[in-house]
Amino acid sequence: MKQKNLGFNSKAVHAGTMDDVRNSAISPIYQTSTFRFDSADHGAKCFAGEDTGYIYTRLGNPTIKELEDAVAILENGYGGIAVSSGMAAVNTVYMTYLGQGKHVVAHNSLYGPSRGVLETIYPRFGITASFVDATDPQNVADAIQPDTALIYLETPANPTIGITDLEAVVRIARQHQIPVCVDNTFCSPYLQKPLELGVDIVLHSMTKFINGHADIVAGMIVTKTKEEYQKLRPVMVNMGFNMDPHQAWLTRRGLKTLGIRIEKAQENAIQVAQYLEQHPKVEWVLYPGLSSHPQYELGKRQMKGPGSMLSFSLKGGFEAGKRMMDHVQLALLAVSLGGIETLIQHPASMTHSKLSKEAKETAGITEGLVRLSVGIEEVEDIIKDLEQALLKV
C-alpha cells in the first residue's frame, strides 16, 4: 500500500519501516558503531556516495534512519535528521545558518536554552540576535537586518502559549530570502505541520510528545527540501550530535501512539482549562482551546487542535506558585512536557528563574505563572488533584 495515502495514525504505526531480512514484525535494533564492507571496492563506493551502504553510526544507521523517515513522512518533509537531544537539533540549525557577522531574529519567548545559547555562547562567534514578540509578525519584519540569516520561532511558545501566524512570517521571510525554522515540539506533526505552511525547517525535542513516555532525551530536524537537508546533515555528523540506535528504536516505538496520546491528553486539557478558568484563585488561563486566548481564531486555523499544554497565572503571585507546586500529588512537579503523565512547573522559580525581571515581563512570564502539561490520566483525578493543591494556596 502506498504509505503516502495513509492517514496520520496509520503512518505513525507503519511509516519508514525497514525491510528486515528475517521478516520481523518490529524492526531490529542495529546496535553497532560500524558496518563491514564487502570489499575494498564496496568501501570505496560507500565513501564516494555511489552506494547507499552504511559506514559508521555517527554518519547513519538503519534504526536511526527508520525514525528519521517516519518523522519526515509525518511532517510531510524531504528528510529527517535525528539527533541526541532537542538542543542538539536547535544547535545544528544555529550552526548551519549562523556564522561570523550573521544575525538571527527569534521569538522572545523561547524554550529557555534555545534563547540562552544565543545570548551567552553564540556572541563569542560574532553572532547577534534580536528577540521580538513574533505573535505580531510586523515585529519580525521590523527586526530584519541586512545580515539576518535565520528566523527562529516557537508556536505555541514556551511557556506563554503565544501563537505566531506562520504564513504571515513566511511571507516576510520570502521577501528577504531568509530561512524560517519552527520548533514544533509543543504541537508535534499531529497538530501542526509548519512545512505545509511554507516553513523551511522544523525541529523537535522528541523528548516530549513524539517519544511521549518521559524515558528518552532525543531530537529531530526535518527539512522541506533536499537543499536544506544537505546543508544541515554534515553539521550534525561532524559536530557529533547523532543519536544512539537504542534511543532511536525506543523513540520509534513511542511515535506509534502519538495521535491517540495527543487526542486523550487534549480531551483532558480542554476540561482542565475550563475548570481553571472559573477558579477564584486563578487570574487567567492561556490555552488555545479557550475563546479567551488572544489568538483563538489563528490557533483554530493553524493547528488541528489546541493540544495539551496550558499556562495559568495565580492571583497570589510567586509564593502562591511555589505553594501550589509543594502540594500537587498526582501531577509530577517536574520540567519537561508531552508525556503520558501530567507535569506541572513554576517558570518564575524554575525554568525561567535566570531571566531578568524585565526579560520575564516582556516575555509574559508572570510571578504566579504555572505551566501544566496535561497527561492521559482520568481527567477527574487530574482536576481533583489541582483542586486540593489550590486549596492550600
Ligand X SMILES: *Cc1c(COP(=O)(O)O)cnc(C)c1O
Under DSSP, is residue 152 helix (H, G, I), strand (E, B) or coil? strand
User: Which residues make beta-bridge pairs with 150?
Assistant: 104
Under the binding rule (CB under 6 A), the answer on residue 27 touching ligand X is no
Q: Which of 58, 253, 256, 281 is catalytic?
A: 58
According to DSSP, the β-strands at 128-132 and 148-154 are: unpaired
Out of 86, 137, 156, 254, the only residue in the binding site for ligand X (CB under 6 A) is: 86
Q: Is 2 a catalytic residue?
A: no
Residue nearest to ligand X (CB): 86
Under the binding rule (CB under 6 A), the answer on residue 111 touching ligand X is yes
Residue closer to ligand X by CB (options 54, 249) is: 249
Grid cell for residue 1: 500500500
Q: Is 208 a catalytic residue?
A: yes
Residue closer to ligand X by CB (options 158, 266) is: 158
Q: Under 8 Å CB-to-CB from 288, ≥6 apart: which residues?
A: 156, 161, 163, 295, 296, 299, 300, 303, 306, 307
Under the binding rule (CB under 6 A), the answer on residue 162 touching ligand X is no
Q: How far is the CB of 212 from ligand X (least distance, A)?
A: 13
Out of 85, 96, 135, 311, the only residue in the binding site for ligand X (CB under 6 A) is: 85
Own/partner pairs for 386-391, CB < 8 Å, 24+ apart?
386/272, 386/275, 386/276, 386/328, 386/331, 388/327, 388/329, 389/324, 389/327, 389/328, 389/329, 389/331, 390/279, 390/281, 390/282, 390/324
Round to whole Å and give the CA distance between 94 and 86: 13
Q: How far is the CB of 186 from ligand X (least distance, A)?
A: 6
Q: How far is the CB of 378 from ligand X (least distance, A)?
A: 25
Q: Is 193 a catalytic residue?
A: no
Out of 165, 183, 200, 244, the only residue in the binding site for ligand X (CB under 6 A) is: 183
Q: How far is the CB of 250 from ligand X (least distance, A)?
A: 14
Round to whole Å and give the CA distance between 325 and 333: 6
Q: How far is the CB of 58 from ligand X (least distance, A)?
A: 18
Residue closer to ligand X by CB (options 114, 223) is: 114
Residue type, 250: L
In the chain the first and final C-alpha atoms are separated, in Å, by 56
Per-residue contact flags (x/-) with ligand X for residues 203 to 242, judged by CB under 6 A: --x-xx--------x-x-----------------------
Q: How far is the CB of 10 from ligand X (least distance, A)?
A: 27
Q: Are 143 and 120 in contact (CB under 8 A)?
A: no
Region binding ligand X by CB under 6 A among candidate stretches 59-67, 84-92, 193-201, 291-299? 84-92
Under DSSP, is residue 274 helix (H, G, I), strand (E, B) or coil? helix
Grid cell for residue 289: 482551546
Region binding ligand X by CB under 6 A among candidate stretches 85-93, 159-167, 244-252, 352-360? 85-93
Per-residue contact flags (x/-) with ligand X for residues 320 to 339, judged by CB under 6 A: -----------------x--
Residue type, 74: L
Q: How far is the CB of 219 from ligand X (least distance, A)?
A: 5
DSSP 176: H
Q: Which of 30, 54, 97, 111 is catalytic?
A: 111
Q: Judged by CB under 6 A, how many residues of this single chain contact ligand X?
A: 16
Region binding ligand X by CB under 6 A among candidate stretches 93-101, 139-147, 181-189, 378-386? 181-189
Residue closer to ligand X by CB (options 63, 158) is: 158
Under the binding rule (CB under 6 A), the answer on residue 87 touching ligand X is yes
Give DSSP secondary structure letters for 301-365. HH-SS--SEEEEEETTHHHHHHHHHHH-SSSEE-S---SSS-EEE-TTTTTTTTS-HHHHHHTT-
What residues from 113 to 152 belong to the interface with ligand X (CB under 6 A)?
Answer: 114
Q: Which of 208, 224, 252, 360 is catalytic?
A: 208
Q: Which of 69, 133, 165, 183 is catalytic?
A: 183
Round to whole Å and give the CA distance between 74 and 61: 20
Q: Which residues of 244-276 are buried (b: 16+ CB within 10 A; e: fewer)?
A: bbebbbbbbbbbbbbbebbebbbebbbebbebb
Grid cell for residue 126: 560574532
Q: Is 296 a catalytic residue?
A: no
Query: Mind telling me the catalytic residues?
Result: 58, 111, 183, 208
Footprint of ligand X on this chain (CB under 6 A)?
A: 85-87, 111, 114, 154, 158, 183, 185-186, 205, 207-208, 217, 219, 337
